[in-house]
Chain A
Amino acid sequence: MVSQSTAISRAAEIAKISRTFDFILLIPILLVIIGTYHLSMILTVGDWDFWLDWKDRQWWPIVTPLMGISFPAAIQYGLWKHLRLPIGATVCTVCLLLGMAITRWFAYHLWTNYPINLVLPATLIPGALLLDFVLLTSRSFFVTAILGGMLFAAVFYPANWAIFAPFHQPVEYNGSLMTLADVSGYSYIRPGVPEYLRIIERGVLRTYDTYATPLSAFCAAVLAVPLYALWSYIGKLFSTTRFIDKF
């Protein structure tokens, strides 16, 4: 009876150790995801996410989800394949938004005095929720690549529409028609990205008038499928547990 009690006490202790270990393990995981995914995004999406007046109908809905699917797909692979946790994409995008929101407020707004509206970050969370949902329900990376990858990119623009639509209202300024976002951009000079570097609304796609955005979203959705597959494979490569004997 005593040894049974000891065994129970030992089992409880092991459960406690295991849970404490999981909790402590979360801290480096989340911090490294914030630090690295955020850095990857600012150096690939960069100004399309930094500035309100870069969030156009053509490039922003393509560049952001296509670059943004990288870490979610790779982390999702590892967490699902080895730990059966269908939360990889959502965790990544929440970390990303947290990292971006902190910096936008404390760096752009409080240090260099840009209005927070000009530097609002976009969110990838709705697409990531769908990506995880498709994986959870289909239990297939193949289906997730096709359906989840497409949804991740396709919902990006509509999911952010409620946040940024007010700034796309037309306004006449000094005799020219532009958006409120453009006026905000012209009002706050940015020597690092002068106007001649603002890559928005370029190319013949704008001749499609109101179809420009759906076409961009659809294009992003199609391209997100192979990119999801590629990043899943990269996630697989980095999930290796190999050891080597020497360098």
Chain B
Amino acid sequence: MSTQTSEIKAILSTSPSPYWYLRDGYKYLLALFAVCAMYVGIRLYQGAYAMDTGLDSTMPIFDVYWRRLFYIEITFEVIFVIAVASYLWLTRDKHMQALSIREEITRYFTFIMWGGVYGMAVYWAGSYFGEQDNAWHQAAVRDTPFTPNHIVVFYLGFPLYTILGMGLWLYARTRLPLYEKKISVPLTLAVVGPFMLLPSVGYNEWGHTFWFREELFASPVHYGFVISVWFALALEGTILQIIARMSVLLDKFALENQ
């Protein structure tokens, strides 16, 4: 018995860490924390300055507190999208067919973690700041498409999750054999659909500029957002693809070294 125990210990000691598949776990927690910290910080900034400096877009102080934030966001997004796309493409796996089972399982974990960061960005943009926009419209008469909340939800929230969604798609394309040669319909829909919220901003602002100023939230000027967001349901198909592949991988993993 002692021999068996020592042999099992020996086997385990030669194995990688017991949580080898959570290789990117710390990065994941850090990314979730970073997204939350950024949005909480922005919400505190809104709470501190929006009522004092964000009510009248013609005031010089509006430029200082809000348009400057807008320019910072746009600069950050340009740098971020280039960095994400370049990193994922330049470090792509060129020998995916030689991928070990352990490595592929680990990559699926990382893929889902990336999805978690994407989900967090979707939550802040679609749920929190999406509805907070109504709170602001009911407290202040709009005189610009660049309100203190629009600058956050339209020009940071939507682009950020779009970039993360693009990264999710690219990660699958460049690191997972299942997505290497073919294009996943549900993954593409789940990423492209919510991205369409971004062009819908144009329709929305046009509607409010030339059609009616009021913010009846169920009005047709918002239907572009609604139809786009429904495409997130394609997450179902994506998850089914992932689960099916993980099931195959775990079966192979069980047979490995037998």
A38, A42, A44, A194 pick with most chain B CB within 10 angstroms: A42
For the complex, what is the distance from the CA of A120 to the CA of B258, rounded to whole Å? 59
- The answer to whether A28 and B216 have CB atoms under 8 Å apart is no
Does A220 count as interface, using CB distance less than 8 angstroms? no
Cα A212 to Cα B197 with chains together (Å): 37
B131 to chain A: which residues have CB within 8 Å?
A: 38-39, 42, 99-100, 103, 107
A244 & B182 in contact (Cβ 8 Å cutoff): yes
A141-B18 Cα distance, complex, nearest whole Å: 43
* Contact partner, B250, options A17, A30, A44, Cβ 8 Å: A17
Q: Which of A3, A107, A193, A235 is close to B214, meaning CB atoms less than 8 Å apart?
A: A193
What sequence of 0s and 1s flags, for each residue 92-125 of chain A, a beta carbon within 8 Å of any chain B beta carbon? 0000000110110011101111100000000000
Contact call B236/A238, Cβ cutoff below 8 A: yes
Answer whether residue B232 sits at the interface, using C-beta atoms and an 8 A cutoff: yes
Let me know if A10 and B254 touch, CB within 8 A: yes
Contacts of B126 in A (CB 8 A): 34-36, 38-39
Q: Is B78 engaged at the interface, CB distance under 8 Å to the other chain?
A: no
A12-32 near B? 1/0 per residue, CB < 8 Å:
011001101100110111111
Interface members, chain A 208-247 (any B CB < 8 Å)? 234-235, 238-247
Q: Is A46 an interface residue (CB 8 A)?
A: yes
Question: Min CB distance, A205 to chain B, in Å?
Answer: 19
A155 CB, nearest partner CB in chain B, Å: 22
Q: Which A residues are in CB contact (< 8 Å) with B113?
A: 24
Q: What is the minimal beta-carbon distance from B203 to any residue of chain A, in angstroms?
A: 12
Secondary structure at the B interface, as helix, strand, loop or mixed, is helix
Nearest CB of chain A from residue B69's CB, rounded to whole Å: 16
Stretch at the interface among A68-76, A128-136, A144-152, A156-164: A68-76
Tell me how many residues of B have a C-beta within 8 Å of chain A.
80
- Measured between beta carbons, the chain B residues less than 8 angstroms from A238 are 186, 189, 231, 233-237
Are B233 and A75 in contact, CB atoms less than 8 angstroms apart?
yes
The stretch among B56-64, B79-87, B89-97, B136-144 that forms the contact with chain A is B136-144
Please determine whether A48 and B218 come into contact, CB atoms closer than 8 angstroms.
Answer: yes
- Please, which residues of chain B bring their CB within 8 A of the CB of A171? none
**Is B196 in the interface zone, CB < 8 Å from A?**
no
Cβ A242 vs Cβ B186 within 8 A: yes
B74 at the interface (CB under 8 A from A): no
Instruction: Find B186's partner among A63, A191, A193, A240 (CB 8 Å cutoff).
Output: A240
- Please name the residue on chain B nearest to A242 by beta carbon: B185
Instruction: Return the contact of B217 from the options A17, A21, A46, A112 (Cβ within 8 A).
Output: A46
Bound CA span A101–B138, Å: 18
Instruction: Say yes or no: is A184 at the interface (Cβ < 8 Å to chain B).
Output: no
User: By the criterion of a CB under 8 Å from any partner CB, how many residues of chain A are at the interface?
Assistant: 75
List of B residues within 8 angstroms of A175 by Cβ = none
- Verify if B145 is at the interface (C-beta below 8 Å from A): no
Shortest distance from the beta carbon of A66 to any chain B beta carbon, whole Å:
12
Set of chain B residues within 8 Å of A246, measured between Cβ atoms: 183
Report the Cα distance A190→B181, complex, angstroms: 53
Name the B residues within 8 Å of A25 (CB-CB).
112, 239, 242
A43-B218, A44-B218, A197-B216 known; A29 vs B135 contact (CB < 8 Å): no
A61 located at the interface, meaning its Cβ lies under 8 Å from any Cβ of chain B in the complex: no
Q: CA separation between A112 and B142, bound complex, in Å?
A: 15
The residue on B at minimum CB distance from A243 is B182
Closest to B187 in A: A243
CA distance A32 to B43 in the complex (A): 20
Across the A-B interface, the 7 shortest Cβ-Cβ residue pairs:
A46-B217, A31-B119, A192-B215, A35-B126, A107-B132, A35-B122, A78-B236
